[in-house]
Structures are given as structure tokens and as C-alpha cells.
């Protein structure tokens, strides 16, 4: 079975994660998908395939080299998809022999692939693209990664002449809500190093990501009858608006790129009596992230001076850190991936990912773990697509990396 065929099968599982849930995993559908993956892994020959009580799936492809001892490499992908975009009743179709022109996926919702807006589409001319009907996401983030890892496994079992060492596989829940590594058992996984397979184009190798924090801003107002409110009423919602206005306007996600960090107001609620703002703080440079935290706290101090002590209260929590410091001592992970990509006729490239991955957190948990592309694009949206031939190349890349680590 080819990787894209597996991806199509996996779209039937409605695995949106839920940030408001208190369970692990956050949705029961991920358990259903995880158990299906365990059964598939066993059918391929992965005898120890198992899903633990928290919804993490683990398995081992045993070395087929006699008396082998060496570097145990791992491959990891996540089972959940975002829930901000419809993820149920996914209908896929294939655009065969893409001609490089604009593709209207869904006219009613104005969902299209436009090469003027997406210059990388030219790289896929003459290839086949897997899309939806434009009413849902595809879920290639990250079911494409799962499909490629298990297609790699199938190929290795079908072709014992491909010699490899011990390979570890894992699939995580709740990556999209920042909890994918929370209960990952690094010791049980048993790899020396790993790659997440959770990126975009074939050839992408990511070893830099944001440092991330979140800030909750709580505002306490004073509510009173509006007819007698003079010098008494303190409107918490208006103070919340004032707080937002004091942040630099150009340092929002919609105005930033590459290594530029930002403040992102992603949730707000309020009344006259009380209000709450929730911010995402991001920067590739850790010292700059600390500066962003200081700005948030400084605005709170200024507003407390203006409206009274304890009007504004701030809670800041670190979420994850840039993995580059954990990857540099193990640069062979990047060199090996680059070498394998070139041998497959690709051009390796790296760019800072403007987000986080399970691998970033796992790198700080003792498992250095850069990220590889999956041959898919436009994640988290209705225009998401995967290139069938690029997915095949990604499978070849995983096999080649595994073979290279057999001799390390």
C-alpha cells in the first residue's frame, strides 16, 4: 500500500483534539484511531505494538542484521488534527497530473490553490495532488507522517534485503493543543535519537522552532448602576481593550515572518465586572521572549498605577523552547538527513519553524528530535493538500535514514 492510500484511510478517523478537555488524550476518537494503528502495526509484523493508557502508540521494527548493536533511531508522528476547521466527513479527491494552474477546490467557500499566492505549487507540476472537497481539512498534519512511517515499516518487512538496525515507532495524541509530549515515555520508547515526521515539503529538515510562553491577563473592574456611575464604575472590558492597545501593533502574527516573534491575542472574554485576555508569546531568541514577558508585566504595572492596585493581574507560563541547543551536539541528525535527501535527488533545506513540534519538547526530555517534511502543505485549512509522489519520496527518505543509522 502506498502512503497516500493510508492517508485516505486515516481521514475516516475524526481525531480533532480539544484544548478544554481534562482527559488524556483529550478526545476518545484518538483512542479509537490509536487502537486501529496498533492492529495495523501488528499485521505488518510489529509484534510489540501497543497503546498505553494515555493514548500513546509504541512499536519496534527489530534489526535484521545478525548480532547488530548500534544507534537505535526512532520516527514519531501525531494522531490528532486541529478542531478549528471542520474535520469530520472528509471527502478526498485526486488532482492527477497537476498542470501548474489555479485549482478551484470549492467555489462556494472560495477554496483554491493559486500559484500566484503559493509559489511552491510550481514544484508539483506534473504530479498528483490529494485534496478534499473544500469543506474540511485533509488531516495530512499529521496523518501523512503516520502513513509514511507505516509504509516504511511495510517496505522493510517486504524487503528483508534492506538491512537496518532497530527502529522505534511512536504516535502521539494531542500535539495540536501542545500536549503531545506531556506523557511520552522516552525510556519505554527506547530510541537514542528520533525524527518527528510532521513538516511540509520533501527535503525540509527543521531544527529551530519558537520559544513559547502563554500569558493570562485577569482584569477586575467595579460594576455599579450606570445612572450613578460617575467616579465609581471601572469597566474591566475597556481596560482589556486598553491593555491590547499598549502592545506594539506591528508585532502580531499577521505582520511577522522568519525569525520575527510576536504577541498573539487568541482569546478574550469580559464584562464590566471582570475580563480575561489570553496571549501567545513567541520568539526564536529566548532573551527576546523574556523581553516580551517584561512588556506584558510592565503594561500591567502601568494600568494598576492608573486604576488601582490589583486591577490587572498577569500569569505567564512557559510552553516549550527552541530545540536548536539540544540538536547542535548531535549534528549527525541533520547531516544524515541532508545526505539522504541528496541521494534521493532532492535539495535539503532548513528554516525556522514558526511554531513548535513534539520533537522540540522531546529534545529537552533527552531525545534529540528534529523534524522532517511529509510532502503536504496548507495545514490547518480547507486548502490543505498532499503530493502523492512527494509522500513516496518521504517514505524512501525514512528508509534511507534507517539504513544509514544501521552502521553508526
In 133-210, the DSSP E strands lie at 167-172, 193-197, 205-206
Which residue in the list 40, 141, 142, 175 is annotated as catalytic?
175
Query: Side-chain half-sphere of 161: how many Cα atoms within 13 Å?
Result: 1
108 is catalytic: no
Q: Strand 57-61 and strand 167-172: pairing?
A: antiparallel
d(CA 148, CA 77): 9
Active-site annotation holds for 80: yes
Distance CA 83, CA 280 (A): 18
2: cell is 502506498
Residue in this structure with the C-alpha cell 508585532, named with its chain if needed: 251
Question: Hey, is 239 helix, strand or coil?
Answer: helix
Q: How far apart are CA 354 and CA 364, in angstroms?
A: 18
The catalytic position among 40, 80, 148, 198 is 80
Q: Which three cell numbers stand for residue 408?
A: 553508526
Please compute Rg for the chain using Cα positions.
23
Q: Is the CB of residue 326 less than 8 Å from the CB of residue 229?
A: no
Classified as helix, coil or strand, 395 is helix
Q: Any idea which residues carry the catalytic annotation?
A: 80, 175
Amino acid at each position: 500500500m502506498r502512503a497516500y492510500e493510508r492517508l485516505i484511510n486515516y481521514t475516516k478517523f475524526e481525531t480533532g483534539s480539544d484544548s478544554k478537555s481534562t482527559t488524556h488524550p483529550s478526545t476518545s476518537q484518538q483512542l479509537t484511531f490509536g487502537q486501529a494503528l496498533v492492529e495495523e502495526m501488528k499485521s505488518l509484523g510489529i509484534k510489540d505494538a501497543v497503546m498505553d493508557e494515555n493514548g500513546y502508540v509504541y512499536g519496534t521494527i527489530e534489526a535484521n542484521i545478525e548480532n547488530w548493536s548500534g544507534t537505535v533511531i526512532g520516527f514519531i508522528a501525531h494522531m490528532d488534527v486541529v478542531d478549528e476547521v471542520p474535520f469530520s466527513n472528509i471527502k478526498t479527491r485526486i488532482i492527477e497530473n497537476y498542470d501548474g494552474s489555479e485549482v478551484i477546490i470549492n467555489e462556494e467557500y472560495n477554496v483554491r490553490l493559486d500559484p500566484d499566492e503559493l509559489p511552491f505549487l510550481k514544484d508539483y507540476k506534473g504530479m498528483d495532488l490529494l485534496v478534499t472537497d473544500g469543506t474540511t481539512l485533509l488531516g495530512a498534519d499529521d496523518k501523512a507522517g503516520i502513513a509514511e512511517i507505516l509504509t516504511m515499516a511495510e517496505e522493510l518487512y517486504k524487503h528483508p534485503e534492506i538491512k537496518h538496525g532497530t527502529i522505534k515507532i511512536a504516535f502521539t495524541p494531542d500535539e495540536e493543543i501542545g500536549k503531545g509530549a506531556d506523557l511520552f515515555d522516552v525510556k519505554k520508547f527506547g530510541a537514542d535519537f528520533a525524527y518527528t515526521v510532521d513538516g511540509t515539503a520533501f527535503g525540509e529538515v527543521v531544527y529551530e522552532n519558537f520559544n513559547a510562553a502563554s500569558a493570562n491577563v485577569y482584569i477586575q473592574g467595579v460594576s455599579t448602576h450606570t445612572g450613578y456611575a460617575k467616579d465609581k464604575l471601572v469597566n474591566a472590558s475597556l481596560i482589556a481593550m486598553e491593555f491590547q492597545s499598549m502592545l506594539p501593533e506591528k508585532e502580531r502574527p499577521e505582520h511577522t515572518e522568519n525569525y520575527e516573534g510576536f504577541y498573539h491575542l487568541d482569546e478574550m472574554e469580559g464584562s464590566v465586572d471582570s475580563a480575561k485576555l489570553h496571549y501567545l508569546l513567541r520568539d526564536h531568541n529566548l532573551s527576546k521572549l523574556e523581553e516580551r514577558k517584561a512588556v506584558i508585566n510592565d503594561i500591567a504595572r502601568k494600568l494598576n498605577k492608573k486604576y488601582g492596585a490589583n486591577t490587572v493581574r498577569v500569569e505567564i507560563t512557559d510552553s516549550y523552547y527552541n530545540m536548536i541547543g539540544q540538536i547542535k551536539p548531535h549534528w549527525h541528525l541533520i547531516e544524515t538527513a541532508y545526505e539522504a535527501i541528496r541521494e534521493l535527488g532532492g535539495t535539503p533545506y532548513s528554516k525556522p519553524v514558526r511554531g513548535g513540534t513534539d520533537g522540540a519538547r522531546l529534545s529537552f526530555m533527552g531525545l534529540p528530535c528534529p523534524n522532517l517534511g511529509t510532502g503536504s502543505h496548507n495545514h490547518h485549512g480547507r486548502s490543505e493538500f498532499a503530493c502523492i509522489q512527494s509522500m513516496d519520496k518521504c517514505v524512501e527518505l525514512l528508509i534511507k535514514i534507517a539504513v544509514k543509522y544501521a552502521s553508526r
